A and B are shown apart, each in its own frame.
Chain A
């Protein structure tokens, strides 16, 4: 049994080598397909992570007029808590805002001198965390319509725009990857199919001899399916090398949307490997199987 498996592999490898240029084309297309499959996963992860980050840090900041008394702001906070399902609400007084600023920029003498000159111009703020992005508009509208006389500014639109643009960009990228990936998957299926079909044609005489000396179907068919397996395996490995190299080069010292893609890949390495190899090898083996069923006459 082991001898047969070894010989089937050896023949599959020989078929692969004999196909020369066509094998190279098949590998390149398969590589692009598997690369896109993983890219799709990573693009989705990047966008989700970015949105999570924006959402987690996202709050509505209500800036009050300088003259607004603390008691009134506390009342507004209680009112908002009663009317909306909030994850949290945090009051920062004008004094605390000033102290925070001093803490952050205390070593900047110019800034500190300017601050001493103008006095405390910081507003008291309410930082509100809403459960869902959609609630921000309601909270903002409510605060504006009921407390417009004490509110200086409500800041949430920028976050909303950021989230929406992340959504828009990533969904566009995802759609493009899916379409391109689909096309490439089809092309790779056809190319592997063609490669195996040509191998079968070019080995016509050898197959006939094999058949007549009593080679089992498994041996004859197996060698061509292994040829497909080898194509898929090489494509997956090369695609993985390119992916890792790109990630290492692109993310040297930088994080995109605050995401450490390298760590993400390392954390999900088993899933990424499974995806890579199942796409590359899966497409290739299925395609060779169909070619064998269609063209290898037993």
Chain B
């Protein structure tokens, strides 16, 4: 489904500093339906790797194929088509504070031009999947961290994406809620959605017992099926 071919990412010099190499000839492949954890210390390039897949950042060298299509070749005006196939979850949830749980999820459909009937039908469904039906009228600040992250997951799921990118989704959560979120991601993966999880949470990775790609010094140093967290 996703293929990284010798992907290098260098950030240009900023404020008189030198340029920064973040990913150095990274190559790996994710098959459809897989659950892959990308692990590495902070600054290892996990977030950049996710931003490259969504084309928030451009690769410096190499290429990324999404279902065989080189994503750097997708024209800007067509990028939304790629992004509608991907659901993204962030460490800090990125929910809109002025909107309720329901509205935050509906918003993802509204901006894509989905009709009202579809919104009314789909939002309660995903709220049910993430177990937040009763909290649908609450605002983000009234939710616990685990609940807020489940709203973010619901928003990522609303387009029925082929791929879920989770960038440190448990970073701000306690172990109990972290496990809940990971279990939810496993459940989503079981339904056929590919999941790429970027994390440095050892417990989570070991609990998952899924494929682990390890980044160190900007390179992939290991890629192990049923792997464990090793840095």
Interface residues, chain A, with chain B CB atoms under 8 Å away: 1, 3-4, 7, 205-206, 208-217, 219, 298
Contacts and interface: CB of A to CB of B under 8 A. Distances in A.
A298 B96 contact: no
Given A7-B111, A7-B113, A214 B83 contact: yes
Given A3-B113, A3-B116, 18 more contacts: A3-B114, A4-B113, A205-B94, A206-B96, A208-B56, A211-B56, A213-B83, A213-B84, A213-B111, A213-B159, A214-B80, A214-B83, A214-B112, A214-B159, A215-B112, A216-B77, A219-B112, A298-B77
Contacts, number: 61
Interface string B124-151: 0000000000000000000000000000
Contacts of A215: 80, 111-112
B31 interface: no
Contacts of B13: none
A214 B94 contact: no
A213 B54 CA distance: 10
Interface of B: 54, 56, 76-77, 79-81, 83-84, 86, 88, 94, 96, 107-108, 110-116, 155, 158-159
Contacts of B116: 3
Nearest to B108: A213
27 contacts: A1-B113, A3-B114, A7-B110, A7-B111, A205-B94, A205-B96, A208-B56, A208-B94, A209-B107, A209-B108, A210-B111, A211-B56, A211-B83, A212-B56, A212-B83, A212-B86, A213-B108, A213-B112, A213-B158, A214-B80, A214-B81, A214-B111, A214-B112, A214-B159, A217-B77, A219-B112, A298-B79
Contact of B54 (A3, A205, A206, A212): A212
A206 to B, nearest CB: 6
B155 A213 contact: yes
Contacts of A298: 76-77, 79
A219 B94 contact: no
